[in-house]
Amino acid sequence: MSIGRYVLDAIYERRSVRAYERRQPSITLVRKLLKAAVHAPTAMHREPWGFAVIQDRDVLKRYSDRAKAMLRATPSQAVGWGSSALLRGDPPAMLKDPAFNIFYDAGTLVVICRRESSPFADADCWLAAQTLMLAATATGLGTCCIGFAVPVLNTREAKRELGIPREGAAVAPIILGYPRAPALGVPRKPAHVLSWIGREAAKRATRA
């Protein structure tokens, strides 16, 4: 099988996993994923990322509870999501459920952070996040990106606890673990081609 086939398998098999076994990925395995993640493309070769790993369920529960409280308390005002996005509107009902853990009781969280405030640092971190998620899929692990966690991870206390520099930010929180069951596929619309300049035959295509 060609390497291209393996990569495509991982792309099509990756799904957000929201139910995990109790057993934790080993430290060696997490290190292997971090090693893969830093092979993502990086603007100006700055490699601005840093990784905060939490493998303590009590700490994750504490962050989950604080995240829910923060998101509930600021329903209509802007909440900072790293440096690039805003959350507005009423909080979803699940944030009011005391039993709901925003990390789905996964035992491992990798927070991909930027260590600086350069123009493409967030983009680099997201590329590292996708590389890590595909590598995790290839090793049999499930992942899910947890946007709900971004505001709490960017509080001053959390940044201090996680070793994120003042000029940096938590960008992409990714939970990891062994899936309790195969995740259901979420369908995608075909790629919407807005334009295709050149190559006469493809010119009128609206779908890939």
Q: Interface with ligand FMN includes 186 (CB under 6 A)?
A: yes
Judged by beta carbon, residue 52 or residue 152, the one nearer ligand FMN is 152
Residues forming a β-bridge with 179: 20
Among 15, 57, 61, 62, indicate the residue that binds ligand FMN (CB under 6 A).
15
CB of 125 to ligand FMN, least distance (A): 11
Report the residue closest to ligand FMN, judged by CB: 147
Q: How many CA atoms lie within 13 A of 144 on its CB side?
A: 19
Among 16, 84, 117, 118, indicate the residue that binds ligand FMN (CB under 6 A).
16
CA 26 to chain centre: 19
Burial bucket for residue 78 (CB in 10 Å: 0-12, 13-18, 19+): exposed
Binding mask 134-163 for ligand FMN (x = CB under 6 A): ----------xxxxx---------------
CB of 82 to ligand FMN, least distance (A): 9
CA angle centred on 189, ends 186 and 190, rounded to 5°: 130
Judged by beta carbon, residue 18 or residue 62, the one nearer ligand FMN is 18
Residues forming a β-bridge with 104: none
| CA neighbor of 159 nearest in space, from 83, 72, 52 | 52
Helix residue ranges per DSSP H, 53-149: 57-73, 121-138
CB of 173 to ligand FMN, least distance (A): 8
CB of 186 to ligand FMN, least distance (A): 4
CA 86 to chain centre: 16
At 110 the three-state DSSP class reads: strand
Q: Interface with ligand FMN includes 63 (CB under 6 A)?
A: no
Judged by beta carbon, residue 34 or residue 87, the one nearer ligand FMN is 87
List of residues contacting ligand FMN (CB under 6 A)? 15-16, 18, 144-148, 186
